[in-house]
Each structure stands twice: as C-alpha cells, then as structure tokens.
C-alpha cells in the first residue's frame, strides 16, 4: 500500500474540541459510544513571494540575456489570447487549486482581477497549490506555457519550506517571444529539467512542483511579464481588457472534499511539521471490539460559521454513533483539515459507514470494514478510472492533455494515496512516460502534428496493485 511522504501547508492551527453526542446503547456492559471534532487546522493560502535575492538574480539574468542573445522568435507566434493552457499538471478545482492572483492595487490594499480578495499585498503572479507534500513527493509536473528559450534556471535549494522566509528558490525563467517572459518558481529540488539557452516547446516539462524558497507549501508561482513589466493575464470586473487565456481559470468557490482517510486511534498533532508530513497510516479495515478510530478530512472553501453532523452506521444501517456541532471558524477557510474520532463496540463484521454533513448537506459517505481475523485484512486494487484527451484530436500549435476522471476521495478503497503512470503514443510510437500524483499530464506541442493518432494510456498503482484506465 502507498505510504509516501507529506500533506499540506499551514499558517495557523485552531484546535476545537466540543461536540454534542447521542447514540443508542449497544448492549449491557458496553461502554457508551463517543466521538468529537478533535481539531480544525486552517490554511489561509500559500503565502509566497519571489525573494529579494531572487529578484536581484532574475533582473541580472535578464540583463545578461538581452545583451548577449537576440530575442526569441517562436515557431508558433504568440497571439492574443496568449496562454492555451495552465502550465501545471492536475485538474483545476479537483487536485489543483488557484489560491492567489496578482495584486492590482498599487498601494497598501489588495485587489485581484475578480474583486474577490484572492491575493495579498504586492503579489505579482498566480499561485496554484497541489494536494500537499505527498503529491510533491510523487511528482507534479510544471510545463512551459508557450514556446520559448530559457533565460535562467536554478536548482539545488531545499524544497520543504513551510515558512515565508527570504530564502532562494529553484526556478525557471523563459523568454516566450514578442516581449513575453514567464517566471516559474518554487520547484522541487533536483527536478529542474532545462538549462539557460535551451529552446523549449509549449508543454515541455521544465520541472516539478515544490516548496523551495519563500514559500509556505508546495505550489507553482507563475508570473507573466510583457515588455519588461509584470501583468495579470486574467480579465474580469476589476481588470478590464482582454484575457490572455484561451480558457481563463476561474476563482474556485465550491466547497470540496479533496481527501479523506481512517486510522487506528485519534490523530494527534505534536508539532506543525509532523502534521504537514502526514505519515499517519491510512486504513480501511479494522478488527472487532471496542476501539477508537480517527479520521482526517481535507476541505476547500469551508464557509464561516459552518456546522457539521457525523453519523456512524453499522452493517444493518443502524446509527451507532452520532454527534454534531460548529466547526468554530469565524471566517472563510479556503483550505482546512478536520480531525475527527469516534469510539464504539464494533461487534458486527461487514461494511460500516462514516457519514459527514456540513450545514445540513451530506458531503461524505465513506465505508470501512470490520473483519473477524487479522488474515482477512487485504490490500485492494485502486478504483478503475476513465480518461479523456483535450482536445479530442490533435491541433496545430496546441498541447494535448490527458485527464483522469475519478473521485478524489475514493481513488482507492483502502484510502491509500496512489500514483498515475501516463504513457503517450503517437502513431503507436511511445513518446512520453511519466509517473506522478496529478490527475493530468501534457504532451508537448512538438511531439505530434495535426492528423496524427495520439493515445494516452493511464495505469493506477498503490504500490502493490495496478489498475488500468478504461
């Protein structure tokens, strides 16, 4: 079963421990069932910046490049809108989340293109977070947004930063032609795959998402420049004009469950780093008897003043534990982790269920199993997945994206973290293979032509068992 490294990134932690509890007695002499919300851990969003030292370095690199190298002229010229795709693996709103946009307020206030407050003072780019350090460990690619020539690239810096300190990052800077530059920041250590002077095609993998430098968690900082000045590529109510996206990424507002698992006993948080690494065993099968089971649920967009209600059902669908209460958040938590536990007498073998409602609406119905003997605890294969190609047929001057269609929570019946292997073939010839955590992968523009037969095969693994996409 998959037992990689890490989970997300925190700016503050609120521990809330009150809940009302009700349940029917089980049998004479059995302890009363109990349960509670043990903690709510909130993330305000990845605070990041290109450090002052990195800004000096990039300005020097640009000056050196422009004094010695003619401007890059793309085979496919940059046209408005400029960006055909978002340059990071994953599906926005599922396993990839835009947290911050550029700050358009020139003073001490903040203003993003959507008037939503999804930025912070002085921010110049787009920040897109992945599903934590576990995903970073498996690998989430970053791609060249357009054709270009590498102006500068840097690697070798530590990549597990959880603090906004003035440290150097791993990065790539690309001249995309026609005055456009792209800055790609915070790569995973050892992952930068290009070097200064190298020409890259749109969609070329240039590195892996990380948390190096001035960063509080694994994400990509993507910054756009035109004619020597940074700009916000998205357009909306607070940024007039045309968008620089073929399909503009939107502000993500729906409440979403992005991950969930069970474990033996209550999940404790001895310190921030231990929590971020998330090395708690993920389980789905337990033995009979009185025991305490912990749960972790990862949420996006938990609204202020939200409430929860938990029910634990036995194989006969009888409610064995029920408790409810307020989450305790007095503001919107864009990323939050809830830690629950419940304790009862698991005196029936079979499938039990953990059900969670938020504000009266069911958001989770998660099964777990009680078996009679230790030998009945088995690792099960990951869920089968479907895939789609975007676009469905190759088009000149565009990348191709292979997307995995699956449930974030139920990717694996044992709640293991899994990895996806993408195998790309063009006219039945293998042209790219990548294994990582993301729900998509990209085939670069120069690997195919219009009219080619392009196929993507995805294999899913939880270490011991594989399942092939259909």
Q: What is the DSSP track for 152-169? A: EEE--S--B--B------
pLDDT for res 252: 85
**Mean pLDDT confidence for 218-241:** 95
pLDDT digits (tens, 9 = 90+) for 44-101: 554 557 888 899 999 999 999 999 999 898 877 777 678 999 999 999 989 999 989 9
| Residue 3 clears pLDDT 50, i.e. is over it | no
Judge contact between 11 and 47, C-beta under 8 A.
Answer: yes
- Kindly report the CATH number that applies to the domain delimited by 386-468: 2.60.40
Q: Which residue has the tokens 């504000």?
A: 359
Q: Name the nearest CA neighbour of 187 among 225, 156, 165.
A: 156
For the chain, the farthest-separated pair of C-alpha atoms sits apart, in whole angstroms, at 85
Judge contact between 134 and 4, C-beta under 8 A.
Answer: yes
Beta strand residue intervals within 216-279, DSSP E? 219-226, 229-231, 256-264
pLDDT for res 439: 97
pLDDT for res 24: 35
| Residue 20 clears pLDDT 80, i.e. is over it | no
In which band, very low, low, confident or very high, does the pLDDT at 398 lie, cut at 50, 70 and 90? very high
Output phi, psi for 62, to 5 deg.
Answer: -65, -45
pLDDT for res 22: 35
pLDDT digits (tens, 9 = 90+) for 324-377: 999 999 988 888 889 999 999 999 999 999 999 999 999 999 999 999 999 898
Q: Which CATH number fits domain 12-44+255-376: 3.40.640.10, 1.10.3720.10, 2.60.40.1930, 2.40.50.100?
A: 2.60.40.1930
Q: Which fold has domain 52-231?
A: Glucose Permease (Domain IIA) (2.70.70)
Global pTM reads 0.89
Q: Beta 361-370 vs 285-286: how paired, if at all?
A: parallel
> What is the C-alpha to C-alpha distance for residues 255 and 186, in angstroms, rounded to an integer?
27
Strand-by-strand arrangement of the 319-326 sheet? 20-22, 319-326, 307-313, 350-358, 361-370, 285-286
Q: Quick one: how far is CA 357 from the chain centroid?
A: 23
pLDDT for res 1: 35
Judge contact between 419 and 137, C-beta under 8 A.
Answer: no
pLDDT for res 289: 94
In which band, very low, low, confident or very high, does the pLDDT at 2 lie, cut at 50, 70 and 90? very low
**Mean pLDDT confidence for 441-447:** 98
Question: Which of residues 43 and 448 earns the better pLDDT score?
Answer: 448
User: What is the DSSP-derived secondary structure letter of residue 16?
Assistant: -
Judge contact between 459 and 423, C-beta under 8 A.
Answer: yes
> What is the C-alpha to C-alpha distance for residues 186 and 220, in angstroms, rounded to an integer?
6
Fold equal for 52-231 and 386-468: no
SS3 133: helix
Question: Which residues make beta-bridge pairs with 28?
Answer: none
pLDDT for res 242: 93
In which band, very low, low, confident or very high, does the pLDDT at 41 lie, cut at 50, 70 and 90? confident
Buried b (16+ CB within 10 A) or exposed e, 89-128: bbbbbbbbbbbbbbbbeeeeebbbbbeeebbbeebbbbbb
User: What is the DSSP-derived secondary structure letter of residue 134?
Assistant: H
Residue ranges per structural domain of the chain: 12-44+255-376, 52-231, 386-468
pLDDT digits (tens, 9 = 90+) for 5-19: 223 333 334 444 333
In a 10 Å sphere around its CB, with 0-12 CB exposed, 13-18 middle and 19+ buried, how is residue 195 labelled? exposed
Beta strand residue intervals within 359-453, DSSP E? 361-370, 386-390, 400-405, 419-426, 429-436, 440-443
Judge contact between 437 and 130, C-beta under 8 A.
Answer: yes
In which band, very low, low, confident or very high, does the pLDDT at 277 lie, cut at 50, 70 and 90? low
Buried b (16+ CB within 10 A) or exposed e, 261-283: bbbeebbebeebeebbbbebebb
């Amino acid at each position: 079963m998959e037992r990689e490294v890490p989970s997300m990134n925190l700016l503050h932690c609120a521990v809330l421990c009150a809940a009302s509890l009700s349940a029917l007695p089980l049998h004479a002499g059995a302890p009363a069932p109990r349960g509670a919300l043990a903690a709510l851990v909130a993330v305000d969003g990845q605070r990041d910046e290109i450090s002052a030292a990195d800004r000096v370095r990039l300005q020097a690199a640009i000056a050196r490049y422009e004094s010695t190298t003619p401007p890059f002229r793309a085979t496919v010229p940059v046209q408005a809108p400029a960006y055909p795709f978002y340059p990071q693996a994953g599906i926005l709103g599922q396993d990839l989340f835009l947290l911050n946009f550029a700050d358009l307020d020139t003073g001490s206030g903040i203003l993003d293109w959507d008037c939503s407050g999804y930025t912070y003072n002085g921010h110049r780019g787009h920040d897109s977070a992945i599903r934590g350090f576990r995903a970073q460990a498996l690998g989430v690619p970053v791609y060249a947004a357009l054709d270009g020539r590498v102006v500068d690239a840097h690697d070798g810096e530590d990549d597990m930063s959880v603090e906004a300190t003035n440290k150097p990052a791993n990065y790539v800077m690309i001249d995309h032609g026609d005055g456009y530059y792209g800055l790609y920041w915070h790569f995973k250590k050892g992952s930068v795959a290009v070097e200064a002077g190298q020409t890259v095609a749109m969609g070329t993998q240039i590195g892996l998402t990380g948390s190096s430098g001035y960063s509080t968690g694994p994400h990509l900082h993507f910054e756009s420049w035109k004619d020597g000045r940074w700009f916000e590529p998205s357009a909306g109510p607070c940024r007039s004009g045309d968008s620089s996206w073929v399909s503009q990424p939107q502000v993500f507002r729906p409440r979403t469950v992005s991950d969930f698992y069970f474990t033996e006993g209550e999940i404790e948080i001895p310190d921030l780093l231990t929590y971020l690494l998330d090395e708690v065993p993920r389980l789905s099968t337990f033995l009979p008897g009185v025991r305490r089971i912990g749960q972790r649920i990862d949420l996006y967009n938990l609204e202020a003043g939200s409430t929860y209600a938990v029910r634990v059902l036995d194989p006969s669908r009888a409610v064995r534990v029920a408790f409810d209460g307020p989450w305790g958040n007095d503001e919107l938590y864009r990323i939050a982790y809830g830690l629950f536990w419940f304790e009862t007498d698991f005196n029936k073998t079979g499938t039990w269920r953990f059900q969670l409602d938020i504000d009266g609406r069911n958001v989770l119905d998660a099964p777990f199993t009680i078996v009679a003997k230790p030998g009945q605890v088995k690792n099960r294969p990951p869920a089968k997945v479907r895939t789609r190609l975007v676009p469905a047929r190759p088009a000149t001057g565009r990348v191709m994206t292979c997307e995995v269609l699956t449930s974030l929570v139920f990717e694996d019946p044992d709640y293991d973290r899994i990895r996806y292997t993408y195998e790309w073939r063009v006219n039945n010839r293998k042209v790219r293979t990548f294994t990582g955590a993301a729900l998509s992968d990209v085939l670069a523009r120069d690997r195919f032509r219009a009219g080619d037969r392009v196929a993507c095969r995805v294999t899913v693994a939880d270490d011991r068992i594989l399942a092939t996409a259909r």
